[in-house]
Amino acid sequence: MNAQFLRLFAYLVVGLVTLTQARAQTSPAPAAKTKVFRAGAATSNITPPIGGAIIGGFHPFPSTHIHDELNVRCLVLDNGETRLALVVCDLLGASREVFDEARRLVTEETGLPGAHLFMSATHTHSATSALGTNRFKINNPLDDYQAFVARRIADGVRRAINHLAPARIGWATGSEPRHVFNRRWYLKPGTMPMNPFGSTNDLVKMNPGRASKDLDHPAGPTDPEVCLLSVQTPEGRPIAVLANYSLHYVGGVGTGHISADYYAMFCDRLQQLLGADRQTPAFVGLLANGTSGNINNIDFTKPGVKQENYAQMRLVANDLAQTAFKSLEDITYSDWVPLGGQLRELEVGTRRPTPEQVSHAKDVLARPKTLPRAATLEEIYAERTLGMAAYPARLNIPIQALRVGDVGITGIPCETFVETGLELKARNPFKPSFTHSIANGYYGYLPTPEQHRLGGYETWLGTNRLEEQASVQIVTALLEMLAKLK
């Protein structure tokens, strides 16, 4: 009886095992979860009221007219694992405090990690200041316009998140060398003018005058590359294009006009070329300022030509949009790509005035003014020298790196020289790669050590705030961050 029961039990076990194996062989395995890439884009208006100071030059003056609106342009990418937001603001620049407040709002309201929010300014010279009343003071409370900009950045990111939808992404590069010129020039011996510190020791001059007999040769290269990141729906409808070009700005606006400069004109023209007008949601173009601290749109070997206001802007914007459009024609799109972001506080030293420079500055400012007049360049730099004397000896500055598929994007909070951008492109583990200047804050110009030795406007104390080796330290840190993202 017991033996029969055991044999029966054994048969039952064998049968169950065989049935389970058969079902395992015939039943399909659970399907792997499909990764979905999504993108969304939006804008937020940040046009200031008429009457605020336009700050593109040494002597700010009140605006009298708005030629075209200023905007925050936002692009959000989400691959199901990571979400990134890229923001380009139509501003000369914004203080770190503005970007920090925007970051706080975005993280608080959307949960987006701070390291994944990448913000920069275009550097239009026809905008009201978001830099605050004193650029040489740290941690200033936000004024009304700065608080407004921070709020609108956060609103734009939220709207872009609301627009998230399935998308595909691709990247491309083009070249537009006709509109970039190095603005720092060697002059013929004996022709260098005195700088505001009472010296003729500069070896180069910024904006030396067109077709001048004193010109020798440019003091550096240019970067004609146009880098493009494009997202569209799975059916091919354009959602957004982020472009990057290393051109300072164009200018040529009407007196007292607020304008986003050629950056907005490029975005509008590219939208037309792509046939993306009047979509819902609207197509968003973004044009970020690359490493253009020593690059502008002036060919100093030729005499100037009188033009109507905004004519040169339209010319540059149209040519660049045509180059971008042609480059996008052969783009290969992917249904999913890896994303990543890193944000680091990098400690760097600052420029310190000598006791002699401080004494000279005080003497200049103590001179009596016989008539009401605008401050001279000497007086402006005397004030900046005293500002730098009170500036912290060391600072933590924000630097950032993003990965978007094979693309590497870096952000530096300065008007960065083209040599630094070219070095980052050459050494970057991602191809293509590009840098946004004036990203996450503003700390003046960033010449390389070699350019520091040449002197000139961009290296003058107050125009340049960070130590002479700062660009080397920033490049080293960014490459480390990119390597981790790789």
Encode 233-267 in three state secondary structure. Answer: CCCCCEEEEEEEECCCCCCCCCCCEECCHHHHHHH
**CB neighbour list of residue 5: distance below 8 Å, 6 or more residues apart:** none
pTM exceeds 0.85 for this model: yes
Looking at the DSSP bridge assignments, the partners of residue 225 are 175
Q: How far apart are CA 431 and CA 166, in angstroms?
A: 25
Confidence (pLDDT) at 194: 95
227-267: pLDDT as tens digits: 999 999 999 999 999 999 999 999 999 999 999 999 999 99
Q: How far apart are CA 163 and CA 83, in angstroms?
A: 13
Cβ atoms of 261 and 149 closer than 8 Å: no
Angle at 65 between CA 62 and CA 71, to 5 degrees: 95
| Cα–Cα nearest to 137, from 369, 391, 456 | 391
- Helix ranges (H only) for 367-486 are 377-389, 418-427, 449-452, 470-485
Structure tokens of 307? 């033009």
- The one-letter amino acid at 184: R
CB count within 10 Å of CB 393 equals 9
Confidence (pLDDT) at 32: 56
Confidence (pLDDT) at 29: 52
Confidence (pLDDT) at 28: 52
Cβ atoms of 77 and 165 closer than 8 Å: no
10 Å CB burial of residue 118 (0-12, 13-18, 19+) is: buried
110-167: pLDDT as tens digits: 999 999 999 999 999 999 889 998 888 888 899 999 999 999 999 999 999 999 999 9
Structure tokens of 51? 């009457």
Confidence (pLDDT) at 7: 45
- The one-letter amino acid at 76: V
Residue given tokens 């290296």 in the structure block: 459
Cβ atoms of 392 and 138 closer than 8 Å: yes
Query: CA–CA distance from 363 to each of 134, 200, 201, 370, 383 (Å)?
Result: 22, 19, 21, 16, 11
Cβ atoms of 259 and 307 closer than 8 Å: no
Domain ranges of the chain: 38-181+217-347+391-485, 351-389
Backbone φ/ψ region at 390: left (φ over 0), alpha (ψ -120 to 50), beta = alpha
Q: How far apart are CA 182 and CA 233, in angstroms?
A: 39
Q: How far apart are CA 248 and CA 217, in angstroms?
A: 20
Structure tokens of 298? 């002036």
Question: Would you call 16 helix, strand, or coil by DSSP?
Answer: helix
| Cα–Cα nearest to 429, from 361, 345, 340, 347 | 340
CA dihedral 342→222→88→51, nearest 10 degrees, is 140
Residue given tokens 């595909």 in the structure block: 168
Angle between helices 470-485 and 418-427 (to 10 degrees): 30
Confidence (pLDDT) at 10: 43
Q: How far apart are CA 146 and CA 317, in angstroms?
A: 28
Confidence (pLDDT) at 1: 43
CB count within 10 Å of CB 273 equals 14
One-character DSSP codes across 162-203: HT-EE-EEEEEEEE-GGG-EE-EEEE-TT-PPPPTTS----S
Angle between helices 311-328 and 261-273 (to 10 degrees): 40
- Residue 60 DSSP one-character state: -
**CB neighbour list of residue 389: distance below 8 Å, 6 or more residues apart:** 352, 353, 358
Cβ atoms of 245 and 54 closer than 8 Å: no
Q: Digits of tens for pLDDT over the chain (486 positions)?
A: 444 444 444 444 444 444 444 444 444 555 556 789 999 999 999 999 999 999 888 889 999 999 999 999 999 999 999 999 999 999 999 999 999 999 999 999 999 999 999 999 999 999 988 999 888 888 889 999 999 999 999 999 999 999 999 999 999 999 999 999 999 999 999 999 999 999 999 999 999 999 999 999 999 999 999 999 999 999 999 999 999 999 999 999 999 999 999 999 999 999 999 999 999 999 999 999 999 999 999 999 999 999 999 999 999 999 999 999 999 999 999 999 999 999 999 999 999 999 999 999 999 999 998 878 889 999 999 999 999 999 999 999 999 999 999 999 999 999 999 999 999 999 999 999 999 999 999 999 999 999 999 999 999 999 999 999 999 999 999 999 999 999
